């Protein structure tokens, strides 16, 4: 039998040689689908301000990406849906009542500065949505820490309120100072702190996408089922927050997990492919570092929440983690 022409059947190329039968746009679409439950929950609790914030952030990110690629004379990457995902993630990390022009500024920063300046998707060292949120928190501190009360349109006399994290931090500092006990214990006397069911469901003030732990858990389960993410970062992140809370005292550990940005940070922000480690061991270290830094900022920092800054700091050390945890080549010493 005549052998086949090898030139037609064998192609020499560099690694990797295996293909996962997925694409960037498919992965981005899966994450967008996973965020739909928490987006719907945010709209349900905060109404039209949440809708406008999401629409403005997504539209601005897509337009900025298009203009940046044109200015750099590079191929159009709007179709990979990464700009759509960045806009959605940024919107979900903002208060519902923030002025829309601030949302536009943050969206432009996310794409133009935190992403395209470094060369685009795959080259940015920091998560663009989190980088934009940190930039906005420093630049627009007042509006970024002013929260709409859920179903605020039913109680026009009390439109804004404090988040559970801010309330708990103030309460525990006061109680610890006034009592001989080194740690305050949260109970029904902790005025202003919602119940666990309200925290899990999302009936609490906060950012649009961080309030409903149940909706975030549903999205995370979808990503795990689709094998878009692995369990290493979310589990190590949340477990570190939980264990630290048990050891440090103060607010109950379950409240530390259900409030603030822990759930959305652990499942959707820290798991970003570009800015997180590639090895399983590295992901565990990364998640542990995010959880530890988050709790240190919460306990000792001036901000009640530290999730965004914790993930950004770990983004910076991600290359070192990859180097420390890289597997030994087969046959290597």
pLDDT at 252: 81
Give residue 51's pLDDT band: very low, low, confident or very high (50, 70, 90). Answer: very high
| pLDDT tens string 223-275 | 999 999 999 999 999 999 999 999 987 778 888 898 888 999 999 999 999 99
Q: What's the token pair of residue 230?
A: 């692995």
- Weakest-pLDDT range from 25-29, 60-64, 235-239: 25-29
Residue range 298-324: mean pLDDT, rounded:
89
pTM, to two decimals: 0.86
Q: Which residues pair with 160 in a beta bridge?
A: 148
Residues near 321 by beta carbon (within 8 Å), at least 6 away in sequence:
277, 282, 285, 286
Residue 207 backbone dihedrals phi, psi, to 5 degrees: -65, 160
CB 301 within 8 A of CB 169: no
Alpha helices of 80-211 — where are they, by DSSP H? 82-92, 100-108, 128-139, 141-144, 164-178, 196-201
């Amino acid at each position: 039998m005549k052998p086949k022409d090898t030139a037609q059947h064998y192609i020499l190329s560099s690694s990797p040689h295996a293909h996962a039968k997925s694409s960037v746009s498919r992965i981005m679409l899966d994450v967008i689908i996973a965020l739909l439950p928490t987006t719907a929950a945010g709209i349900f609790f905060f109404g039209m301000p949440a809708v406008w914030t999401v629409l403005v952030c997504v539209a601005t990110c897509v337009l900025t990406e298009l203009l940046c690629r044109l200015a750099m004379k590079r191929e159009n990457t709007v179709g990979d849906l990464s700009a759509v995902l960045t806009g959605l993630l940024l919107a979900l990390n903002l208060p519902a009542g923030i002025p829309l022009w601030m949302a536009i500024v943050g969206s432009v920063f996310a794409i133009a500065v935190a992403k395209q300046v470094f060369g685009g998707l795959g080259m940015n060292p920091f998560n663009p949505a989190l980088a934009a949120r940190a930039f906005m928190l420093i630049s627009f501190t007042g509006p970024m820490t002013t929260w709409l009360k859920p179903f605020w349109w039913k109680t026009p006399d009390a439109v804004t309120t404090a988040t559970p994290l801010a309330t708990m931090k103030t309460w525990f500092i006061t109680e610890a100072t006034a009592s001989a006990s080194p740690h305050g214990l949260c109970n029904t006397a902790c005025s202003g702190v919602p119940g666990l069911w309200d925290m899990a469901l999302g009936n609490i003030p906060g950012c649009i996408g961080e309030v409903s732990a149940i909706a975030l858990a549903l999205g995370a389960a979808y990503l795990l089922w689709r094998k878009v993410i692995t369990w290493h970062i979310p589990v190590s992140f949340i477990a570190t927050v939980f264990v630290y809370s048990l050891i440090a005292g103060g607010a109950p550990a379950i409240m530390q997990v259900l409030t603030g940005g822990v759930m959305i940070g652990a499942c959707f922000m820290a798991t970003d492919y570009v800015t997180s480690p590639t090895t399983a061991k590295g992901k565990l270290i990364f998640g542990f570092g995010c959880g530890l830094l988050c709790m240190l900022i919460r306990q000792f920092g001036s901000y009640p929440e530290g999730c965004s800054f914790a993930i950004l700091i770990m983004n910076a050390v991600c290359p070192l983690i990859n180097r420390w945890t890289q597997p030994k080549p087969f046959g290597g010493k």
